[in-house]
Chain A
Amino acid sequence: MGDRGKIIAGLLVFGLLVAFPVWYHLGKATPPPRPDINTPVIAGLPQKECIEDTSYMRAYHMELLRDWRNWAVRDGKRIYVSRDGKEYVMSLEETCLKCHSNKAQFCDQCHDYLRVQPNCWNCHVEPGEGNQ
């Protein structure tokens, strides 16, 4: 019974340690990402729209890209007809990056924030690569 003090102190220290990530980052919120769509090509578009609507692209772009990859590489089909009937060439370089030429501001921001590490860029060439 005489150990009550030690136990409570130990529990307190334990609780504090477990909650370390919470109190360490208290008040230091990372600003949420703001993907930048200000590229010369997008600025020149009469209507600023992606392949599908923004909310869909935001949530499912990775699935779209995965499907594009499989259709283009494995099935040799390269034309994508979007839900509003427009046709696009299924190519990361030739379609996506023509508008979104700012990888650091457009892709990396969110991916870094969410700590996802897509391996697209191990092979695919970022616009302007080799110029530096």
Chain B
Amino acid sequence: MEMTRRAFLKMGGLGLLGILAAPVLDTLARTDLGRVMGASGVTTAKRWALVVDMKKCWENGNGSCRDCILACHRTHNVPAIPDGQEQVKWIWTERYENAFPGQENEFAQNLLGQPFLVLCNHCSDPPCVRVCPTQATFKREDGVVMMDYHRCIGCRYCMAACPYGARSFNFRDARPYLGQPNPAYPVRERGVVEKCNLCEERLAEGLLPACVEACRYGALVFGDLEDPASEVREILRTRYTIRRKPELGTRPNVYYVVG
């Protein structure tokens, strides 16, 4: 069959159109994905806060109770690395004069040297979030300063920025230091920074943070600061509380009852 130049060009054009249309049609043919919802039964708030009653902790714990620390570290697969330099910690104790530098005085002997429970303050103006180049750490609407380990590149700017030393870097593989990891929560890989996440994964299930739940003496109180009827607000109203390094303007959301 003889083909005219005109017919040849027509067919060529149609063929080209078909090739170009294939990926477009392919995309259109994909029915859209499922939808997303927030879960019901989630513990929600506008601004989460933690009040640590150190008096209760000292009186009942006798300085040897480590329930909250153990519960947290077990829940979140925090490795027990003995080397102090490479230690990973989410919640630990710090001596009064180190936790509250500038607030101590030589005559307050009852406080000097006392262990204070410290963790990420989930600041309202978190310096770690400002410096993170990948937005791996970010502030959630409910106040949780969150880490997205998928995005962390291990630059450690956040560690330099955090005035509370609340962040730890994974210098080595955590798995040999875990024994039996908690299968419900991931481990972190070498080269990422980690810290307390205020148990956001437990809040999502309507549970309290692991440390709060683990404390037998009710020394840790968790609640919403924006809710005037909350227990944390009640404590802040009636007791004298202090925060760590308030002069830096980070506006910490962890409060301490001392006396």
Chain A residues within CB distance 8 Å of chain B: 51-52, 64, 67, 69, 71, 73-83, 87, 89-90, 93-94, 97, 119, 122-125, 127, 129-131
Contact = CB atoms under 8 A, between A and B. Distances in A.
A81 B35 contact: yes
Given A81-B34, A125-B181, 10 more contacts: A76-B38, A79-B36, A79-B37, A90-B36, A123-B186, A123-B187, A125-B77, A125-B186, A130-B179, A131-B180
Contacts of B35: 80-81
A94 B185 CA distance: 9
Nearest to A83: B34
A129 B34 contact: no
Nearest to A68: B36
Contacts of A89: 39
A83 B31 contact: yes
Contact of B34 (A52, A73, A97, A123): A52
Contact of B178 (A75, A93, A130): A130
B229 interface: no
A52 B31 CA distance: 11
Interface in B16-56: 31, 33-39
B148 interface: yes
A47 B185 CA distance: 28
Contact of A67 (B33, B38, B150, B181): B33
21 contacts: A52-B34, A69-B150, A71-B36, A73-B148, A76-B200, A77-B38, A78-B39, A79-B36, A79-B38, A80-B35, A81-B36, A83-B33, A89-B39, A119-B189, A122-B189, A123-B186, A123-B187, A123-B189, A124-B187, A125-B77, A127-B183
B189 A81 contact: no
B3 interface: no
Contacts of A123: 149, 186-189
Contacts of A81: 34-37
A82 B148 contact: no
A82 B187 contact: no
A72 B37 CA distance: 10
